[in-house]
Every structure is written in structure tokens, then in C-alpha cells.
Amino acid sequence: MTSLTGTGVLLRFSLRRDRVLIPAWVAVNALMILSMPNTLKGLYGTESERTDLLHQVATNASFRALIGPVFDDSLGALTAWRVGVYAGALAAVTSLLVVVRHTRDEEESGRQELIASGAVGRRASLTAALLAAGVANAVLALLVVAGLAGQGAAGALAFGLGLAGVGMLFATMAAIVAQLTESARLARGLAAAVLGAAFVLRAAGDSASDDGSSALTWLSPLGWLENLRPFADERWWVLLLFAAAVGVQALVAYELAGRRDVGMSFLPTRPGPAAGRLGTAGALAWRLQRGAVLGWSVGFFLAGVVYGGLTDGVADLVGDNENAREIFERMGGQSGLTNAFLASMTGMLGLIAALYVVASVLRLHGEETSARAEPLLAAPVGRLRWAAGHLTVAFAGSALIMLLAGLGFAVGYGREVGPILGACLVQLPAIWVIGGLTVLLYGLAPRLAPAAWGVAVAVLLIGWVGPALDAPRFVLDLSPFGHLPKLPGGGMEWGPVLVLLALAVVLAGAGLAGLRRRDLTT
């Protein structure tokens, strides 16, 4: 098999390059899965509480759409139900990122040319990429099987294999998409769109049927995972579906790869305009970021519609469960379960918007390290004006997406439009503090700028996991989101909001002052 010569070397090389990426994604996924039995035990400790839950899920279409149907009241089955779709999606994202990174990314950057000129077989690169994804999924499956074996060995095995199956299905799908486009970014976007479609199909199918038997559910690999029914009289033959799909997609990917030249693609890049209208640094910043802003806007609006639609059902589901009510109230608000749910959902969107603001501010860092900023700053563009373009997109953009989330709630829930909009917008001071901190890191210590991601993830964990774990007050206080008034329901407190706003301004200002004084790093 000379077409595979060098696969081993390339695989080791890929795994070395991914020594942070793969373990991080797999660890987050495994943690989410393996901590779930305990969380559920706290929420639904008794048999009767679990039976209630089962009944409520069976009768509530919006919850089935969001999470899927539940097939048994054992802790194992509830775990697979609660995390299944999301763990599967996370495994899919990990896999498609790994595969695109080691195939189309390499070709687009020109590195593949150098590798392909070595003693490397024609199929070695694609094989190594798929094997790297295989390693990630195998480790995840092993962790899940070992970690959930206490809930039932057969169920753990089925769930682990099912997750790995979803992962490899999207790995091979990404391998096909990577043959089609010339741009890695577009390949990732297309693969993620397929994943989104899989989610929507399953959600539509599950809202129509309470046992996963809808044809729409069967069209989605995420639906296959739930229909494997781990911990609930497993249907092992569903694994054959995964195996067959992975095999067919891999064959198609190899076939396509064999029919094209290195660096070329089946969907050619369209030429751009011969003349441009961009004339200012601000217009350029908007042009570079508008795609991301559009994506986040759509996502936040849809999230608002979905959560808004769920709001009425929440009282039915959680109403009878004292523990769940308590957690919602700790996460969100004091008065009334509906308000508590709305407050915790808008708070969660606020936390996610912190990721947007970090990504958007760090565009400055990306432009600088890629040396694209250098000739721009050698033109009559001051550093502050250059930074202002991207920061406007970052800060105004976060306001835009929170506003759209609020409008989404208005569409999905239809009442209390004003208070809910307020609840969305009150997140902004905390989001902007994270943005300001990112500007500070970038301006004063550009090498440390990516650490802003660490800050955002820490804030996310404090916000999501902190209340559920009953974390001490001072930990919750570390996050700017911990100081926001709990809206809707709670009273508006201007004090902390104004302090956070001032803090954001000071942080960003100090960062910009640093940027003005320091050397450009290239």
C-alpha cells in the first residue's frame, strides 16, 4: 500500500500539533458527561421524581425538541438523555475541526505541498487526519465507557460507541467537504451547517414523536444516537448504521481526493471585484468581521426564539421539583419560576456573548501577528483609529446580538417584551468588562492576549457550574456577571451596573494607551 506511505509519521505529527486541542475538547466533553449522573441524582434523587420527569418529558414537545425523548428512568438512561445530543454535537465539532485542520487548512496554507513532495503516499494525509479524529473519538468513548460503567456496562458501551460513531460520521463528512472547497473556513462552515441541520431534523422529529420513531429523527445522526437507546434496552444494530455511513463517506472522500490536484477543489473560488469601495480602517474592520457578526446575530435570535418558546413549558417541568426550582432560582432570580428561568437564560446568553466579544477584540491580535496590520499602520492610519474599527464591531456587536436575543424572546414568548429586553441588555456591562480586559491584555502584553479566552471560559464555568455546585460567594463574585441585577423579576440596581461600565471603560482605555506606546509585534 504505497499510497499510505508515511501515514504513521503524519499521524504522530498531527497528534503532536493537536496536543492541546484534542485533549481539551475531549476533556470538556467527558467532564460534561461524567458529572451528569451526580447532578441528576441531586435533582431527581427518588424513583417518583424520576417517573414524574419521564412523564413530563413525554408530554412536553418543546423539551423533547431541545433534548430528545427519554426512554427509561434509570440514572444512566437519564444521563444519556440529558447530555446525548450535546455530547454528540461536541464530538462532531471536535472531529470536523481536526479533520479540516489537517486537510484543507494544510493545503490552503501551502504546507501540504511541502509534505506531499516528501516520501508520502497519496492517501496518507487524509488517512492521518481521519485517524487523528479516530484517536480523539476513541479516547472519548473509553472515558465514557469506563466512567459510566457503574450505571450499567452495556449502556455505557453503547453510549460510548454511539458518541464515537457520531464523531467519526462528522469526521468523514468533513473529509468530503474538505475536497469541495478551496477555503478551510468555508469547509468548516459547511460541515457545521450539516451538523446544524442534523440538530434541527432531530429536534423536529422529536417534537412530533415521544419515542424517537419519527422519520425526521432517523434522518439525523444525532437521532441515531438517541435511538441506540443506551441504558434502555440497547438497540445494538443502530451501530451498524454508523459503521456503514462512516465507511461510505470515507470511500467518497478518498474517491474525490484521488480525482483532484493538491490545493484545488471541486467548488472553485469565485473571483472578487477588480476595484474596491473600502476606504477607511473602520470599513475594513466591518468587512472582516461582518460574517461573524451575522452568524452570531442569527444564532442569538434563534436561541431567543427557542428559549422564549420553552418558557411556558418550564413551569410544568420544573414546577413540582423542589431541587430544580432551587437551582434555577440560585442561577437567576427570586420571584417566580418563569422570571427565574428567563433570568437564567438571558444570563447564559450573556455569558456566551462574552465569547463573542473576546473573539472580536482578538481580531486585532490576529491582524497584528499575521503581519496584515503592519502595512496598514504604515499608511496614514493611527493605531487608535485602526483599533477603534475592530473595537466598535466588538462592543456594538455584543449589544446588537443581545438585543436580537431579546427580540427572539419576544417572538418565542410574546409577553413582557420590555422587561426581557432589559434583562438581555443588562448583561452588557459584564460582557464589556470581559471585552475591556481583552483589550487590556492585547494592548499591554500582546503575547498574553489569547489568555482572554481562558478568562472567558472561567467566567462561563463560574456562571454555569458555580450555582449548581453551590460555590462560595467569593468565587461567584470573581465574575462580572455575578454582580448584575437579576432581571426580569429582581429590581434594577444601577450601582453595580455603573461600576462595571466604568471598569470596562478603564480597562479598554488602559489597553489602548498601552497599544499606542508599545512596539508592533511581527
Q: Could you list the residues that contact other proteins (CB under 8 A)?
A: 108, 182-183, 185, 269, 271-281, 284, 287-288, 370-372, 374-383, 517-520, 522
Q: What are phi and psi of 519, to 5 degrees?
A: -75, 150
Beta carbon of residue 494, minimum distance to other proteins (angstroms, whole number): 39
| Alpha carbon 234 to its chain's center | 29
CB 235, CB 228: distance < 8 Å: yes
CB nearer to other proteins: pick between 20 and 275: 275
CB nearer to other proteins: pick between 41 and 185: 185
Maximal C-alpha separation, the chain? 71
Long-range contacts of 296-302 (CB under 8 A, 24+ apart): 296/353, 296/356, 296/397, 296/401, 297/400, 297/401, 297/404, 299/401, 300/349, 300/353, 300/401, 300/402, 300/404, 300/405, 300/408, 301/404, 301/405, 301/407, 301/408, 302/408
Q: What are phi and psi of 267, to 5 degrees?
A: -105, 105
Beta carbon of residue 288, minimum distance to other proteins (angstroms, whole number): 6
- Percentage helix, strand, coil for the chain under 3-state DSSP, each rounded to 5: 80, 0, 20
User: What is the DSSP code (8-state) at residue 271?
Assistant: P
CB 231, CB 155: distance < 8 Å: yes
CB nearer to other proteins: pick between 122 and 372: 372
Beta carbon of residue 287, minimum distance to other proteins (angstroms, whole number): 7
Beta carbon of residue 378, minimum distance to other proteins (angstroms, whole number): 4
Beta carbon of residue 309, minimum distance to other proteins (angstroms, whole number): 35
Beta carbon of residue 128, minimum distance to other proteins (angstroms, whole number): 24
CB nearer to other proteins: pick between 272 and 491: 272
CB nearer to other proteins: pick between 279 and 495: 279
Q: Which amino acid is at 260?
A: R
Distances, alpha carbon 268 to alpha carbons 180, 183, 186, 189, 260, in Å: 8, 10, 12, 16, 12
Beta carbon of residue 271, minimum distance to other proteins (angstroms, whole number): 4
Cell, residue 105:
487548512
Q: What are phi and psi of 201, to 5 degrees?
A: -60, -45
Distances, alpha carbon 359 to alpha carbons 106, 263, 390, 398, 428, in Å: 23, 28, 11, 11, 16
Beta carbon of residue 60, minimum distance to other proteins (angstroms, whole number): 44
Helices 383-413/428-444 angle, 10° precision: 160
Beta carbon of residue 438, minimum distance to other proteins (angstroms, whole number): 22
CB 307, CB 409: distance < 8 Å: yes
**Which H/E stretch holds residue 218?**
helix 215-218
CB nearer to other proteins: pick between 279 and 491: 279
Beta carbon of residue 519, minimum distance to other proteins (angstroms, whole number): 5
Beta carbon of residue 293, minimum distance to other proteins (angstroms, whole number): 15
* Sign of torsion over alpha carbons 127, 131, 137, 142: positive
CB 36, CB 83: distance < 8 Å: yes
CB nearer to other proteins: pick between 64 and 363: 363
CB nearer to other proteins: pick between 1 and 379: 379
CB nearer to other proteins: pick between 21 and 377: 377
CB nearer to other proteins: pick between 106 and 329: 106
| Alpha carbon 443 to its chain's center | 27
CB nearer to other proteins: pick between 384 and 492: 384
Beta carbon of residue 511, minimum distance to other proteins (angstroms, whole number): 18
Q: What is the DSSP string of 296-322?
A: HHHHHHHHHHHHHHHHHHHHHHHTT-H
CB nearer to other proteins: pick between 108 and 329: 108
